[in-house]
Structure 1
Amino acid sequence: MDATETGESFDPRGRGLSPLAATLRCRALNVAVSSLVASAVVFALVSDSGHLSPTAELGRQVLGTSSDLLVRGELAALVGVFAGGTHLVSLTGRDSSVSLRTAVPHFVAAAVLFVVSTGLAWLTTPTLLDILAGADRLTLSARQAVLELELFFPVAVGVGAATPPLLVGLVRANALWSRLGGRPSGVALLFIVAFAAFFSPPDPTTFALYAAPPLAGVGVAVAWVDFR
């Protein structure tokens, strides 16, 4: 998208796309390529995802080949999504109607909250595993499920904490429209459900644990923007 172009020029049918959505519409291939490259790099570099476990239990005991490849693939896909999203935001900044500079404090706050929240959740995940095992919601011998919870539940917490300043920053930068209710929150809900379904172990309890933090983050962002 050239600096002189705006999101409206890529919305010929008048669907009311925000600059972020319009950029995705016209630069989907660019975003997809950056996402796939990041995923491939992570998949190649992380030979044993068990070493990322906070207990390191699964790093010492080799997973089955199929399970190890699956978790590595999930980790690579997650990093690819983050890389693609970051690239999309940078491309949206080329829109003349968007000013990402005004949102820098919000983006910094989102990054800090994500790192801190993910780290704290990562440290407390072993306790959560014990609670779920004690309630017969998770079998510790199911190594793939344990590793998925140890790796991806902290990310769900971090995403939930980072969502409010991130969405507010995008609104302030004019990358999203001034109200988050309706279509934006519906798209966010779709992504949250997809995330929880793809990265959580096949159990409704862990699905809810994954979905709750991002849902709370979206709710806070909507209240912050729409009802202030």
Structure 2
Amino acid sequence: MSNPTVRAIVTDIEGTTTDINFVHKVLFPYAHAKLPDFLRANAESPEVAEQINAVRREMGDADATLGAVIAQLLHWIETDQKVTPLKALQGMVWANGYQCGDFTGHLYSDVAPALRQWKGAGKTLYVYSSGSVQAQKLLFGYSDEGDLTSLFSGYFDTHIGHKRDAAAYQRIVTELDLPADAVLFLSDVIEELDAAKQAGMQTLQLVREGTQAGTVHACVTSFDEIVL
């Protein structure tokens, strides 16, 4: 695919830059195992306490015990819920894992060379993922290819809106201060691409292993098929 009108690229992570298995078989189990002890050890710190109280609000129980909060968080991990305080707390736990060298952020081999090429060609690069901004920065900061965070001009998570809601993409376009059709959104999820297209963005589906190609959006199987 070649499109010289693209000035900015917004990329999803899971299933797009990164194998879904890394998230579901490495990151989620790590958080599930480490989160209880992390919360017990750090519940009094302001940053953690803020998220614990946010969980209580989500639960509708301002007096929920720490044990009940932990149980709720583990349930959300097990059912892959996109809950903002969970994402924030997972990011804190993953930070320890990355910094200790327990794992590095998985990237498909075609991703880093393409990102560097696009950045060198003057395109501005952004990430939009349901994982927290902190988790996004950790994945690219401790990636298989080293620290790639300098390639990105910004990051968006569920604070900007749900990834299947066109309004979230409209807010991103406003933040980027570009015409919507100058922004290309990359994702493996058709419903996300539909929402981005409704907001006026250009769209491209990444059809990685295990992904079903749709019929509405143009498709590629790797970043190196995208020529800008």
TM-score of the superposed pair, with normalisation by structure 1: 0.32
TM-score of the superposed pair, with normalisation by structure 2: 0.32
The structure where strand makes up a greater share of residues is 2
The structure where helix makes up a greater share of residues is 1
Q: Which has the larger radius of gyration?
A: 1
